């Protein structure tokens, strides 16, 4: 069984979290290159797998295939709203991160799991679907779109979890953002994920009350271990890596 090292970053600025992911990816890529160049050296270290949870101050992020026109406000308005903005190297279009949301960044070497990026995305979705089901919220997928949706095949379709990843030599970064107690007004200033005819929701809206985010994080961690058939262990030496 694979081991995934877990660390909760708490609240962290988006750029710092992104930089950390890039460093972990580059370290993994270096290890893989060394093993490839020295295949008979059994002493070469193996890549490590990480799962990072965090929360971000308000920020809009635009994927590499996204369209800037899906940001509906000016730079000056962003400053008024105290929202930062990043163009990223993940897939997907524009989304929002902020308080009340649980963001998950798996830095996995998929060669330990399965070398199928589509399966990876479906597996991330499955984690979220299972967590929502534990709250008696039925969720699913929208054909042709990533992420997790409620009533996906109806006019009331609404997204509760956005996803976007980058993968290099089967090492992943970026991940998912689950709306738990998120202030949904921030989605009014963008076209979420570039989809104009669908809305956004949160677990709190669906249940009608504020939800314990610590409990949701624990359920996410458990379901991640089940879906990826991995042993997830707490890791407190993350920043000692660099």
* Secondary structure element (H or E) that encloses residue 225, with its range: helix 213-227
Rg over alpha carbons for the chain, rounded to the nearest Å, is 18
Instruction: Rounding to the nearest 10 degrees, give the CA dihedral for residues 220, 177, 97, 167.
Output: 120
Could you confirm whether 161 is annotated as catalytic?
A: no
Q: How many whole angstroms separate alpha carbon 10 and alpha carbon 66?
A: 28
Which entry of 54, 161, 167, 193 is annotated as an active-site residue?
Answer: 193
Residue 33: Cβ within 10 Å count: 11
Instruction: Specify whether the backbone of 169 is left (phi greater than 0), alpha (psi in -120 to 50) or beta.
Output: left
Give the pair of three-digit tokens for residue 74.
Answer: 């000016």
Strands of 84-87's sheet in order across: 84-87, 59-62, 94-97
The residues carrying an active-site annotation are 193
């Amino acid at each position: 069984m694979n081991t995934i090292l877990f660390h909760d970053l708490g609240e962290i600025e988006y750029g710092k979290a992104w930089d950390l992911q890039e460093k972990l990816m580059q370290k993994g890529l270096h290890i893989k290159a060394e093993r490839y160049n020295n295949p008979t050296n059994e002493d070469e270290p193996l890549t490590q797998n990480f799962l990072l949870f965090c929360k971000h101050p308000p920020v809009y992020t635009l994927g590499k295939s996204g369209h800037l026109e899906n940001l509906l406000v000016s730079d000056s308005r962003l400053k008024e709203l105290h929202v930062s903005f990043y163009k990223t190297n993940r897939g997907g279009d524009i989304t929002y991160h902020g308080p009340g949301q649980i963001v998950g960044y798996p830095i996995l070497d998929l060669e330990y799991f399965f070398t199928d990026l589509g399966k990876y995305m479906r597996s991330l979705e499955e984690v979220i679907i299972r967590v929502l089901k534990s709250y008696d919220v039925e969720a699913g997928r929208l054909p042709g779109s990533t992420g997790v949706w409620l009533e996906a095949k109806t006019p009331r379709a609404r997204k509760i979890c956005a996803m976007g990843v980058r993968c290099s030599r089967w090492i992943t970064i970026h991940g998912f953002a689950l709306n738990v107690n998120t202030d949904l007004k921030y989605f009014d200033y963008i076209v979420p994920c570039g989809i104009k005819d669908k809305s956004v929701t949160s677990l709190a809206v669906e249940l009608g009350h504020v939800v314990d985010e610590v409990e949701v994080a624990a359920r996410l961690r458990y379901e991640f271990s089940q879906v990826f058939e991995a042993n997830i262990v707490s890791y407190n030496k993350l920043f000692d890596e660099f």
